[in-house]
Amino acid sequence: MPSTAGQALTFHETPLVSGSAITHQAGSSNVVINQLGIYQATFHGTVAVNTGTAIPSSIDVQLLENGTAVPGAVASHSFASTNERATMSFSVPFRVDAVPADFTVTASEDGFQFNEITLAIIRLGDATT
């Protein structure tokens, strides 16, 4: 999937969902959390430089909750070669205080090709005050 600056990446499969706290439709970019609590998000994928992208170049992927960056949920890579391929990943716990909460992963720049991307969100438990 080619990157578009500020646009959400699409997750083509939904391999496992248990219960209704977290929902995702295959082929969608959105994961919706429907239950308050503490969660863990883990993103993993490979990225390559598209033909015509100026080198050196950098890209970030960031997890957003309702359009706002989730602290610590970012991965960055700087490319020094046109045939370079990189693995990008992050894993971060976070708290959901209002539902439904819409989560997406966005790319910061155009000109990159994402492959084999996954986003796993796991509910860890209730949030205590």
The CA distance from 86 to 127, in Å, is: 35
Give the pLDDT of residue 127. 81
The verdict on residue 2 lying in a domain is no
12 pLDDT band (50/70/90 cuts)?
Answer: confident
Taking the model in full, what pTM does it have? 0.91
Cα 81 to Cα 40: distance, rounded to the nearest angstrom: 33
Quick one: pLDDT band at residue 3, thresholds 50, 70, 90?
confident
Residue 3 lies in a domain: no
**Is the pLDDT score of 41 beyond 70?**
yes
Q: Which domain holds residue 112?
A: 22-125
Instruction: CATH number of the domain at 31, please.
Output: 2.60.120.40
| 129 has a pLDDT exceeding 70 | no
Quick one: what percent of the chain has pLDDT higher than 90? Answer: 78
What is the pLDDT, as a whole number, of residue 43?
97
In a domain, 86, yes or no: yes
Specify the DSSP class assigned to residue 66: T
